[in-house]
Amino acid sequence: MNWYQHHETVDQLAAAYVLGTLQGPARRRFEALITRKTLLRLAVDDWTGRLAPMLTALPPVEPSPALWKAVAERTAVQDSAKPVPLWRRIFSAIPAGALAMGVMVGVLAPALWNAQLGGDPQAQLPASYVGVLGTAEGKPGLIVSSLRHGKSIDVKQVVAVPVPQGMQLHLWRIDTEGRVLPLGPIPSGKWVQVPLPEPAERLFAQAVELAVSIERVDDKPVAPQLPFVYRGLCGKLWK
Partner 1 sequence: MSAAAADTVEQLMGRVALRDHSAFKVLFDHTASRLLAVASRVLLDRAQAEDVVQDVFVKLWNQAVQRTPSQPCTLAWMCVVTRNMAIDHLRKRRPETPLQWVDADGDEHQHDVADAQYSPMEQLLAHEDGARLGSCLKRLEPEPRQAVLFAFYEGLSHIQIAQRMQKPLGTIKAWTRRSLMRLKGCMEACA
Query: What is the contact surface with partner 1 in residues (CB under 8 A)?
Result: 11-12, 15-16, 18-21, 23, 38, 41, 45, 47-64, 66-68, 70-72, 74-75, 77-82, 84, 88, 91-92, 94-101, 103-104, 107, 138, 178
Q: Which residues contact 30 (CB under 8 A, 6 or more apart)?
A: 13, 17, 22, 40
Nearer to partner 1, 52 or 217 (CB): 52
Nearer to partner 1, 138 or 150 (CB): 138
Q: How far is the CB of 162 from partner 1 (least distance, A)?
A: 22
d(CA 58, CA 63): 14
| Three-class SS state of 138 | coil
| Three-class SS state of 161 | coil
Nearer to partner 1, 63 or 189 (CB): 63
d(CA 96, CA 93): 9
Q: How far is the CB of 36 from partner 1 (least distance, A)?
A: 11
Q: Is 36 exposed, middle or buried (0-12, 13-18, 19+ CB in 10 A)?
A: exposed
The alpha carbon dihedral of 118, 102, 175, 166 has a sign of positive
The alpha carbon dihedral of 152, 153, 156, 159 has a sign of negative
Q: How far is the CB of 222 from partner 1 (least distance, A)?
A: 20
Q: How far is the CB of 144 from partner 1 (least distance, A)?
A: 19
Nearer to partner 1, 25 or 195 (CB): 25
Nearer to partner 1, 107 or 205 (CB): 107
Q: How far is the CB of 226 from partner 1 (least distance, A)?
A: 17
Q: How far is the CB of 194 from partner 1 (least distance, A)?
A: 26
Nearer to partner 1, 127 or 181 (CB): 181
N-term to C-term CA, the chain: 40
Closest CA to 137 of 177, 193, 97, 184: 97
Q: How far is the CB of 102 from partner 1 (least distance, A)?
A: 9
Nearer to partner 1, 149 or 179 (CB): 179
Closest CA to 14 of 40, 38, 35, 33: 40
Q: Are 231 and 190 in contact (CB under 8 A)?
A: no
